[in-house]
Amino acid sequence: MTTPAPWKRMRLRYAGVCRECGTCIGQGDAAIYDKSARNVICLPCGEGVLRAGQTVSTESRTAGEPHPSGPSSAPPTPVEIGTAGASARREFERRAAQREQRIRARHPKLGGLILALSDDPQSTTAWRTGARGEEVLGSRLNDLAADGVRVLHDRRIPKSRANIDHIAISGSGVYVPDAKRYQGRPTLRVEGGLLRPRTETLMVGGRRCNPLVEGMHKQLGLVQAIIGHDVPLAGMLVFIEADWPLIGGDFVTRQVRVLWVKKAIEHILLPGPLTADQVDGLHRKLAAALPSA
């Protein structure tokens, strides 16, 4: 059954995914916006419908039927998975270049010598350290393509300067692994429980690191808003160079798993309920909602 729809052809202010065929529609691309349903439809799916002044039910075409543009339709646009650590490395290079410029401007004759004999401040080198951690984890995640795992790296969070370092989608669900290069052994300090509220504190080499858990919760909330609550979702803090014990060592705090790279890969490769088509659809949906930074 068809009903009139308040549709409008427009250029999208934000990237989206066609509700009919799952095609990614980029920011600024022309599409048809359904105001009542608050979703978008690509032009091949919607042009004929718009001319007829009618809607097409999402159940009117099964997954096996061809796209409205016909059998000669171009294959789906490849997903831009992004480059692991790209944003962090750019920030390191920007800060290092600014420091060099300041020093050479203040000391025209001795600037080169000062730079050669001094190091960048920790606030600058931390970005290089973070970039390297993201690159190591990103490389291992990329290797999982042969196992049907789809990944995204360095995704920009809309209306924010922050980003999500990695997303992995497999048959067992969607994972948000965040690489960290902290020294020391990750442990969980638990206090209270009987006469006072139970509290959990993530410790790494004597440092309190609960802000890492809180930051992961924010990322998970954003991803869940995109994929919905029916898809398994898990967050991971992946410590690249930590002092892990020979046996065991990984743990969960406030629904975030703390572990190392190999253990993270094992979890991602676990069998699960998602089909290959569902994995691909989630990959495209997340790529459209979270552009490459």
pLDDT tens figures, 21-34: 666 676 677 777 77
* pTM given for the model: 0.70
- 170 belongs to a structural domain: yes
pLDDT at 20 over 50: yes
- 107 belongs to a structural domain: no
Residues 46 and 153 in one domain: no
Per-residue model confidence (pLDDT) at position 127: 74
Residues 154 and 284 in one domain: yes
Residues 28 and 149 in one domain: no
Residue-wise pLDDT tens digits, 224-264: 999 999 999 999 999 998 899 988 899 999 999 999 999 99
Give the chain's domain count.
2
Per-residue model confidence (pLDDT) at position 58: 36
Residues 33 and 150 in one domain: no
Residues 144 and 277 in one domain: yes
pLDDT at 198 over 60: yes
- 25 belongs to a structural domain: yes
Residues 34-42: what's their mean pLDDT?
71
- 255 belongs to a structural domain: yes
DSSP for 81-95, please give it: ---TTHHHHHHHHHH
CA distance 290 to 293: 9
Q: Is the dihedral of CA 33, 21, 285, 135 positive or negative?
A: negative
Per-residue model confidence (pLDDT) at position 14: 63
Residues 179 and 279 in one domain: yes
Average pLDDT value for the chain: 82
Task: Among 108-122, 135-149, 206-220, 278-292, name the one with the lowest average pLDDT.
Answer: 108-122
CATH number of the structural domain spanning residue 203: 3.40.1350
Identify which has the larger pLDDT, 57 or 207.
207
**Cβ-based neighbours of 79, under 8 Å, separated by 6 or more:** 24, 150, 152, 283, 284, 287
Per-residue model confidence (pLDDT) at position 53: 53
Task: Among 100-104, 122-126, 196-200, 208-212, name the one with the lowest average pLDDT.
Answer: 122-126
pLDDT at 190 over 60: yes
- 64 belongs to a structural domain: no
pLDDT at 68 over 50: no
In this prediction, residue 63 has a pLDDT band, given cuts at 50, 70 and 90, of very low
- 188 belongs to a structural domain: yes
Domain of 14? 7-52
Per-residue model confidence (pLDDT) at position 113: 84
Residues 162 and 42 in one domain: no
Per-residue model confidence (pLDDT) at position 254: 92
Half-sphere exposure (CA, 13 Å, Cβ side) for 32?
21
Residues 175 and 272 in one domain: yes
- 95 belongs to a structural domain: no
194-203 burial code (b ≥16 CB/10 A, e <16): eeeeeeeebe
- 215 belongs to a structural domain: yes
pLDDT at 218 over 80: yes
Residues 144 and 32 in one domain: no
Return the bridge partners of 33, or none: 8, 40
Per-residue model confidence (pLDDT) at position 34: 73
Residues 46 and 143 in one domain: no
